[in-house]
Amino acid sequence: MARKAQDYDDIPGTFVFDAERSRQGYGINMFCMSLMKEDNRKAFKANEAEYLKKYPLTPEQTEAILKRDYNRMLELGGNIYFTAKLGATDGHSFRHLAAEMTGATQDDYAKMMLEGGRSVEGNRSKSGKYDTPVKKAVAKPKAKAAAKSAKKSKSSSKRK
């Protein structure tokens, strides 16, 4: 069944962890929760695919976990506080994961944060409804521009 539309779906680059995603992602989040125990972390690392069989996961969810596709995990019902435990098992901090989810390099992301973070201007809504016209040019994070151009090149290659 398609997701019921919500007002917060209009926020770009954001997967709000609501009841529907919580139901959908129960297996992902409970798997992540198991990684709070050292024995489980070891068992998972020893054979990831086998370990995941213990949890009620769809093939898409399993694939997202194995590939460490953090955005996809969120889309399929994972929650960041849970998926961060998978990140911690791999030795990564919240900031590392955040950078990865934005598509930026670690250095570029760290630099963006030091410069005051991602501006809200132009990032409020997909529809543009809530964004006031920006008077001065706001430098877009390089990664986002890069991701956009990557998307473009993908779609143009499809057309070919």
Partner 1 sequence: MAKIIAGFASSHVPAIGAAIDNKQTHDPYWQRIFSGFEKAKKWIADAQPEVVIAVYNDHASAFSVELIPTFAIGCAAEFPPADEGWGPRPVPVVKGHPQLASHIATSAILDGFDLTIANKMEVDHGLTVPLNLAFGSPDEWPCPVIPIAVNVVQFPPPTGKRCFDLGRAIRKAVASYPEDLRIVVFGTGGMSHQISGPRAGLINSKFDKAFLDRLTKDPKGLAAMPHIEYMREAGAEGIELVMWHVMRGALDDKVKEVYRFYTVPASNTAVGNIILENVAKPAKKAAAKKTAPKKAKGLRKAA
Nearer to partner 1, 65 or 97 (CB): 97
DSSP state at residue 2: P
Interface mask (CB under 8 A) for partner 1, residues 61-80, using x and -? Answer: ----------x--x----xx
**Token pair 């596709």: residue:** 69
* Local structure of 146: helix, strand or coil: helix
Binder of partner 1 out of 45, 66, 120, 152 (CB under 8 A)? 120
Helix axes 26-34, 80-89, angle to 10 degrees: 40
> Which CA distances in Å does 159 have to 135, 138, 152, 153?
36, 32, 11, 10
> Which CA distances in Å does 11 have to 71, 127, 130, 136?
15, 9, 10, 22
Under rule CB under 8 A, residue 141 binds partner 1: yes
Under rule CB under 8 A, residue 107 binds partner 1: no
Cα 115 from Cα 150, distance rounded (Å): 25
Under rule CB under 8 A, residue 103 binds partner 1: yes
**Token pair 């630099």: residue:** 111
Under rule CB under 8 A, residue 99 binds partner 1: yes
* Local structure of 92: helix, strand or coil: coil
Please identify, among the stretches 43-51, 56-64, 122-130, 132-140, the one whose residues bind partner 1 according to the rule CB under 8 A: 122-130
Under rule CB under 8 A, residue 24 binds partner 1: no
Binder of partner 1 out of 42, 56, 130, 151 (CB under 8 A)? 130
Binding site for partner 1 (CB under 8 A): 7-8, 11-19, 22, 25-26, 29-30, 32-33, 35-36, 71, 74, 79-82, 84-85, 88-89, 93-95, 97-99, 101-103, 109, 112-114, 116-120, 123-125, 130, 141, 144, 147
